[in-house]
Structure 1
Amino acid sequence: MKKNAKLAIWLVGAVVIAALIVAAMITSTAKNETVATVDGSKITKEELYDELVASYGTDTLNTMITNKMIELEAKKQNVTVSDEDIQKELDVLTEQYGDEETLKSQLEASGSSMDDLKDDIVQYLQTRKLIEPSIKITDEEIKTYFEENKDSLGQAEQVEASHILVEDKATAEKVLKKLKNGGDFAELAKEYSTDEGSAANGGSLGYFGKGEMVAEFEDVAFKLEVGKISEPVKTEYGYHIIKVTNKKEAKEATLKDSKEQIKETLLTEKLQTEYATWLQKKEEEYKITNKLEEEK
């Protein structure tokens, strides 16, 4: 899954999490219990546990140690993370994925969940609040970044649209007739659209710029007036009926409008750089024992 770049350094891989959960389940029951057989030859839970520890144990334990240090340091410095703080990060991620359902499905596909994501967000925000006070961003740095990235900071023309995707022209014309007779676009999208990702949300695709959709779809969407519904549009995916719900005009970037965005970008970059140094310093301050490392 695509993840928020700000969180990426501190997130535990889904495979490691899964291995940790399996290992915990194994230790809660008899280790000599058979989990598989091959021509009568047994594989026990203890053998599985040993294999998981050998493959993932060190990385998982090191992650847990780091997380525990961050937790203890946050308590020591009275750093708290509110529900509002968590929700702000979730809103950013939801926007990146288009909607909450898409985000949830991507998490599930990677073996994770919303609860896991919230835990990761808390970990990230605690770390950020601990390191951020020592980071300085000057006006000169902001100005330099703006000059070097002015084109990408501007607002490109965007369209907000929904669509109903069907396999053949006959079905598309049938749906279009229903729309012309007063049918609800969102309800018809849920009923007919083969695009499962958007159908559950009434066909909504959110905002997109040029180059993000296939050419035939994009050409119609950018020409269509807000509130209007297209005739069936054929692409390699089938036949689309498109409804444009809003538009954003292209807008050239200014230093004043871009300042907060640039500051956040520079802060994120510096957090990634400072994190390793900060972590090493904390490892020296805390008394840490790691039996897996000692056994090597």
Structure 2
Amino acid sequence: MDNQESQRKEEELKNAAEQETNTHEDNQHTTEPTTASPYAAGGAPLGGSTPPPARKSGNAAWIALSAVLAILLVIVAIKPVFGGGNNAAVATVNKVDITKEDLYEEMLKSGGKTTLDNLITQQLIAQEAKASNVTVTEADIDEEITTLKASFGTDEQFNAALAQYGVTLESLRKDAETQVKIRKLLEPSITITDEQIKEAYEQNKASYGTGEEIKASHILVATQEEADAILKELKDGADFATLAKEKSTDTGTKDNGGDLGFFGKGVMDPAFEEAAFALEVDQISDVVKSSFGFHIIKKTGFKAATSPTFEEKKEEIRKQLLNQQIQEKSATWIQEIRDKATITNTLEEKTAEETETDASANPDAAVSPEASAAQ
């Protein structure tokens, strides 16, 4: 590839990238369990893990898309960073230069086609949005990111997904703009009826409610004698949180006065759970023996079981059903707007030309394994 052709191709990709850039917790407190905590065997809450989000595969695909688009940003950054034309050295190995052109070509091979294809799609969506007077505000993007975060369960899981794909929150916000455009373009063609919402509510009613929960603090020690002595101090008026900080062996909770936060049934050691749930709020237990040692428990809070009504869940379910249908329709819709668009993909054409040239220059390389075996 001569320098003029390479520069032309690079400029096209750079322009595409610039167009894309221009068109865009009261959280429940639960202390991390340690091996000495009253959590069930294994040091993790039983039944306390976050359920898999309904859109997890779609979320991962969205983040992966942002990772792919990031490739282009690196590709088009080569020119301003290194400068000096395509023969400028970006690395030297034993006095042999690896040029900007070498790096550029390898990056195009590894992700250029996919990246450009995605940019074409993003540009088509932007054009459709403009033609339909669809606008996206910062508040729209904030809401999209908030919904995406919530579907991963926790901020930690969300941040882990970003790290896995090497995506920054800034680049994700740019992609969120495209997601919002798709939603606003397709939403008018989708109708969600009350009957559909009611059916979804009845099918998932059990998962909407929450069981009874309590909040408790504890002091954990190794022997019955130690526990008896602490219990006597408490009965004599000592402060529970102060004794927990001084004497508890549960390193995960002692600094918080033994606070375990709210938890439901099936989370703690069975003996601990039975004793804790039997207490009244602000009541202190006798010494309780569990598989972790000897506990003194103080119940500090209570939440009754909840079962949201249809009216309370109606709008949330409507949004879930709407998002589901948008996901189902988006692939077909995108293909339709691609089919009616005039698209000139010079990178794809150039790749095809180079493949044909290579095949002509090396006819033996084009022979299939079956044909080779027959020979």
User: What range describes the TM-score normalised by the shorter chain of this pair?
Assistant: 0.5 to 0.7
Instruction: Report the CA distance between 1:128 and its aligned residue.
Output: 0.1
Calculate the TM-score normalised by the size of structure 2: 0.54
CA deviations on 1:47-73 (whole Å, 9 max, x unpaired) are 222111112111111111111111122
For 1:27 and 1:50, the matched residues in 2 are separated by 13
Which of 125, 128, 152 is the aligned partner of 1:70? Answer: 125
Match of 2:65 in 1: 13
Determine if contact 1:4/1:93 at 8 Å carries over to the other structure. Answer: no
Aligned to 1:262: 317
Specify the SS of the correspondent of 2:128.
helix
Structure-2 residue corresponding to 1:180: 241
Instruction: Name the TM-score, length of structure 1 as normaliser.
Output: 0.66
Residues 4, 252 of structure 1: CA spacing in aligned structure 2 closer, same or farther, 3 A cutoff? closer
Q: CA deviation at 1:273?
A: 1.2
Greater displacement, 4-13 / 127-136: 4-13
Q: For 1:118-267, what aligned pairs fall within 5 Å after superposition?
A: 118-152=173-207, 154-157=208-211, 180-181=241-242, 219=273, 223=277, 248-267=303-322
Q: Deviations over 1:30-56 (max 9, x none)?
A: 43314252x555433322221111121
User: Post-superposition shift, 1:120?
Assistant: 2.1
2:17 is matched with none
3-state SS, counterpart of residue 56 of structure 1: helix
Stretches of structure 1 lacking an aligned partner (at least 5 in a row): 170-176, 185-191, 237-241
Q: List runs of 5+ in structure 2 lacking aligned partners.
A: 1-51, 223-237, 246-250, 353-375
Take 2:176 and 2:299, find their aligned partners in 1: how far apart are those partners? 34
Say how many residue pairs are matched. 272
- What is the aligned partner in structure 2 of residue 52 from structure 1? 107
Distance 2:161 2:75 in 1: 24
Identity of aligned residues (%): 35
Q: Which has the larger radius of gyration?
A: 2
* Distance in 2 of aligned mates of 1:254 and 1:139: 14
Q: Secondary structure of the equivalent of 1:287? A: coil
2:138 equivalent to 1:83: yes
C-alpha separation in 1, matches of 2:298 and 2:92: 54
Q: Deviations over 1:169-217 (max 9, x none)?
A: 9xxxxxxx99934999xxxxxxx979xxxx9xxxx99987667x6768x
Residues 181 and 151 of structure 1: is their aligned pair in 2 closer, same or farther, counting only changes over 3 Å? Answer: closer
Deviates more, 1:135-144 or 1:48-57: 135-144
Distance 1:116 1:82, change over 3 A: same
Q: Which moved more, 1:266-275 or 1:142-151?
A: 142-151
Cα distance, 1:151 vs structure 2 = 2.3
| CA spacing shift, 1:225–1:70, aligned 2, 3 Å | farther
Displacement of 1:132 in angstroms is 0.6
Q: Deviations over 1:233-291 (max 9, x none)?
A: x999xxxxx99987643333543333223222221221111101211221133322112
Could you say what secondary structure the match of 2:109 adopts? helix
